Chains A and B, each alone.
Chain A
Amino acid sequence: MTTEATETGDRDAFLDRLRARLAGGVPENTLHPLPPPVTEVPVVTPTNLDPDDLPGTFAAMATRVGMQVHRVGALDEVVPLLAAMVEERGIRRAVVSADADARAAGEMLEVFGVDVKPLHVQDAADADLGVTGAAIGIAATGSLVQASAPSGGRTASLLPTAHVCVIREHQLVATTRDAIRWVADEVESSNVVFITGPSRSADIEQLLVTGVHGPTTVDVVLVRG
């Protein structure tokens, strides 16, 4: 249910006030003059990025930001990993996003007796584990980029206590610039999120606690093939 008018308030009055304030120009600071105008915004290229080894950079950074990284040659090598996880963490209920890799992992989980459901909010809230794929990954920051359209929603990587993400090496891009430009073109999704670690807070005495609202752990399966 949406209202008919999608704009409220007086745009012209609001913006005219700004125009009037800017009409006389902006006072110059002679003590600390402005640098020259920027024609091309410089690309942030972190020093840790090895442009010839995006998977290696990604794995190192994802580990650095607190995610567990598992590198495998092909998707079926994930099976023992999932089996171990189910047993060690007592996973009984999982939700999977709509990504093909996530659904494949879901089928593996069912074999281990996990109750696997497609993504719906209430099921995600009840689940021990959310399995997703990724749209792309950012090597320089170790980030997983999830887009809501291909995933069929956002909350598989948000509500369950644990998150497993399957991502292929060829999905990696080098920098946040590359990722943001990808987002610019991703018009189908209502939401894109860069996930760079588990949920965390340092809000009580600056002591780091993970799993405040989002997942406590994030396991990334980085598939070569």
Chain B
Amino acid sequence: MKVGLFVTCIADVLAPDAAVAAVRVLRAAGHEIEVPRDQTCCGQPAWNAGFADEAAQVATTTLGALDGAIDAGAERIVGLAGSCTAMVRVFWPELFELVGDHHAAERAKAVGAKLAELSEFLASNGLPAAARHATDAASPRVAYHHSCHMLRELRIKEQPEAVLDAVGCERVPWSADDRCCGFGGTFSIKLPETSTAMADDKLRSIEESGAEILVGADTSCLLHLSSRAAHEGRPVPTKHIAEVVAESMDR
């Protein structure tokens, strides 16, 4: 089907390879990709910090871009991050009502109804055949991080697990897998010691699990954890779930 890509600002700037991988995977699964030009950011950083007006200002622009993609024929919008998908689907209607833009709130609900996070989309619409592999001795041992927005706002838990299983990853259990990584947007710079302590907690658990790679659906979490690990001299390889699926197409 024709799909609009909600790139997310963090993937755009800090992890474009993940976005490129996502496009590759979606095309291989038979979809036509359109990237709305005018999308910038969903506004979440400002929303979480209590700056609703500023968040709404930026969100309005991205709303127009995603809205426009649907008008131009996209059947679905696919989001490349759980937190941004949650911002649109769960929080945008509230945000726009709060700033008094009821019309935008209604449009946001319509966009939210057509928006899926990447692994959610792949789980319902199918993976590319080339990506499917059985799990075997050569399978990468993967620690999957349930980011907070995915788990608690969107309730997307089984889908990314199913995707990783279907592409032949060995998912290792780890004790802190559903605990917040400590990023929390501006939280990471308001209370940096607490934020890094939270990251350390997760990183210890990953080390103990014997996983080779840390995988997630949220670049922000992955970057937070990997940059902490690198600083502590114990780097952890991380991959966005899109990259894991894309790589499995080459196996």
Contact = CB atoms under 8 A, between A and B. Distances in A.
A and B touch in the complex (CB under 8 A): yes
Contacts of B97: 30
Contacts, number: 6
6 contacts: A30-B93, A30-B94, A30-B97, A31-B90, A31-B91, A31-B94
Nearest to A31: B94
Interface of A: 30-31
Nearest to A29: B94
Contacts of B90: 31
B96 to A, nearest CB: 12
Contacts of B93: 30
A28 to B, nearest CB: 11
Contacts of A30: 93-94, 97
B93 to A, nearest CB: 8
A225 B128 CA distance: 72
A30 B108 CA distance: 15
Contacts of A31: 90-91, 94
A31 B90 CA distance: 8
A130 B146 CA distance: 54
A190 B91 CA distance: 52
A30 B102 CA distance: 13
Contacts of B94: 30-31
What 6 A-B pairs come out closest when comparing CB atoms? A31-B94, A30-B94, A30-B97, A31-B90, A31-B91, A30-B93
Nearest to B91: A31
Nearest to B105: A30
Nearest to B97: A30
A30 B96 CA distance: 12
B18 to A, nearest CB: 29
A30 B90 CA distance: 11
A201 B94 CA distance: 45
B107 to A, nearest CB: 17
Contacts of B91: 31
Interface in B74-129: 90-91, 93-94, 97
Interface in B156-196: none
B75 to A, nearest CB: 27
Interface string B43-71: 00000000000000000000000000000
A170 B3 CA distance: 69
Nearest to A30: B94
A101 to B, nearest CB: 50
B159 to A, nearest CB: 23
A29 to B, nearest CB: 10
B44 to A, nearest CB: 15
B98 to A, nearest CB: 10
B102 to A, nearest CB: 12
A30 B91 CA distance: 10
A166 B249 CA distance: 72
B154 to A, nearest CB: 14
